[in-house]
Structure 1
């Protein structure tokens, strides 16, 4: 499978840019330390979305090539880059199946976040073996294996409303979410980048009702496009259910960020 079908996130892009949490500063400090980032390297953010990795990584390297198959995500990234005065990110439309044809410079680092689960992971890692410098690394950032992080108390409330409108199967655009059958660490361990270490961070996020509703519209399985003319009713019912669950209007979640850092032996 290639990077996520660009249609999966149509309509979700501004919500993704606004409501998805950013990664902790500790992740980028870890990358700088592990790979001696000194402003001279070239890094690839594959499946970049609106630049959640690319933008914080940019000050540490000479250039970030930020690749995504969804034009709307790239446009959000350009807007955020302009707002933050970040000028060394190359926003490139492309797909993970075509890495070898992208005319990329020798890469010192490749970071993949949530998009890694959509890819032909073995092929991508084989291609990166050809495209990276000898001391380069591949970093996969996620929330950890499915089920490894406790769900917040409000999660069942959201799930019930979503199921009422969209069914219980986890959708992804016109199809369904492909749950990986193998843990990412095992996939990395049999690649050229077989020396794998784990770093992790936990941080508390507190959201309002508006932010929690906006977060749902950022997901490939509950975009405004999927909801269509039921979008307003979905939002109304979700707001009411959340307030019935907790009248304070403050919804806490402890977010786990895990980075699998893989290098050649």
Structure 2
């Protein structure tokens, strides 16, 4: 049943965009409160959201700063972000096509904070930290937001159901583009400790999220390694089989999971 990839990398991420915006868990409100308190955000600062996706961070940060520059390589993600910003009447986000490799030539100007939401692992982490040293203002920081490193939390039991069905369709490895993905072995904190931003603090907040089967399926389609583009013409069959397996596991249509927001804040010593 395993399918053969027949998509471009751009199609891979574009196909996740509407699911990403609707079904990815948001970061804890306490994360933004921490940034406001620690960096004195008062609506006058500039921030960079690098690898912004559809603006999960940018949209929530925008009320606290003067401008957010949201840099994202995929046009579909940028379009989704612009749509969400307009829907919420948020006008201080500059949506720009680019990525960590094009950043040095983009002239984004000085920023107090550079935030990355579960995107740093895709980058040349040491080089990016060096590049950011040129644009982050004194007293500023690199801020990484994520759900924590793989293995930090015990996965919810229903996750195994998702993994079993996904493996039947896509194989046991997580695909990334036309290849596969493996999370870097060295933690972000250790990479940053060797960078100009070598003072590193980590803060975590946990809460329980309850999803319906429709929300679980939407979340699965938001992942690059189980996106609609990955599944191709097997998407409908995959969704049907996944729905049946999940409801057999939890007939009450209630899927609880502990969701973590991990904030890694790296500043210059």
> Which residue is equivalent to 2:179?
175
Q: Which ranges of structure 2 fall in alignment gaps of 5 or more residues?
A: 1-8
Q: Which ranges of structure 1 fall in alignment gaps of 5 or more residues?
A: none
User: Does the Cα contact within 8 Å between 1:118 and 1:178 map onto a contact in 2?
Assistant: no
Deviation by residue 1:63-118 (Cα, 9 ceiling, x = unmatched): 00000001100111011101111100000000101211111121100001111110
- Offset of residue 7 of structure 1: 4.3
> Which residue is equivalent to 2:102?
98
> Which residue is equivalent to 2:158?
154
| 1:128 correspondence with 2:127 | no
User: SS of the counterpart of 1:96?
Assistant: coil
> Which residue is equivalent to 2:208?
204
With structure 1 as the length reference, what TM-score do the two structures score?
0.96
User: Once superposed, which parts of structure 1, at least 4 consecutive aligned residues long, lie more than 4 Å away?
Assistant: none
With structure 2 as the length reference, what TM-score do the two structures score?
0.95
> Which residue is equivalent to 1:220?
224
> Which residue is equivalent to 1:55?
59
Alpha-carbon distance between aligned partners in 2 of 1:41 and 1:30, rounded to the nearest angstrom = 15
Q: How does 1:11-50 map to 2 (within 5 A)?
A: 11-50=15-54
User: Does the Cα contact within 8 Å between 1:7 and 1:173 map onto a contact in 2?
Assistant: no
> Which residue is equivalent to 1:71?
75
> Which residue is equivalent to 2:145?
141
Number of matched pairs? 261
User: Does the Cα contact within 8 Å between 1:8 and 1:174 map onto a contact in 2?
Assistant: no
Alpha-carbon distance between aligned partners in 2 of 1:161 and 1:170, rounded to the nearest angstrom = 13
User: SS of the counterpart of 2:134?
Assistant: helix
- Offset of residue 263 of structure 1: 0.5
User: Does the Cα contact within 8 Å between 2:19 and 2:218 map onto a contact in 1?
Assistant: yes
- 2:237 is aligned, of 221, 224, 233, to 233
